Each structure stands twice: as structure tokens, then as C-alpha cells.
């Protein structure tokens, strides 16, 4: 099981605008800032879609937490 405080910190790195959700564009930008400029739009969309349980096109912290604990 993941540590929830570490998970919140990590999630915050991706949630650039602080709205509580990570979009594919935010994911792509965060990955580039963390040293991986090769995450393309389609890759970012696939990563978000894989964790987006309610299919709203965004990943919430709860969806992120659930994915960490699978």
C-alpha cells in the first residue's frame, strides 16, 4: 500500500493548476519538467484514460490513489 502523503505530493506535481484533477496536457507538461520530454499527447491521453475510472477525461486524486493501490 502506498503512503497517502507521498501520493498527495506526487499528485500535486502533476496537478499544475491545482484544481484537483490531472489532464493529459498537465501530465505531459509535468513529465517534461521531470526530465521526460518524450511523453507525447497520445501517450499522456492513454495514461490518464487508464486511470480515469469515471471517464471524465481527467484523473482525480482518488483515481490516482486507487491506481497506486491495485
Matching residue, cell 491545482: 18
The full set of domains in the chain, from first to last, is 4-68 (1.10.238.10)
Q: Mention every residue, 6+ apart, whose C-beta is less than 8 A from residue 22.
A: 11, 14, 15, 30, 48, 58, 59, 64
Q: pLDDT class for 70, splitting at 50, 70, 90?
A: confident
Supply the pTM of this predicted model.
0.90
Distances (CA, A) of 39 to 9, 29, 35, 54, 70: 21, 9, 10, 23, 23
C-alpha cell of residue 53: 475510472
pLDDT by residue (tens digit) across 24-50? 999 999 999 999 999 999 999 999 999
Amino acid at each position: 500500500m502506498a503512503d497517502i502523503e507521498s501520493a498527495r505530493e506526487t499528485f500535486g506535481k502533476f496537478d499544475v493548476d491545482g484544481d484537483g484533477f490531472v489532464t493529459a496536457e498537465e501530465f505531459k507538461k509535468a513529465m517534461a519538467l521531470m526530465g521526460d520530454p518524450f511523453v507525447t499527447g497520445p501517450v499522456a491521453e492513454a495514461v490518464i484514460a487508464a486511470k480515469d475510472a469515471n471517464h471524465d477525461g481527467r484523473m482525480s486524486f482518488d483515481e490516482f490513489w486507487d491506481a497506486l493501490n491495485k
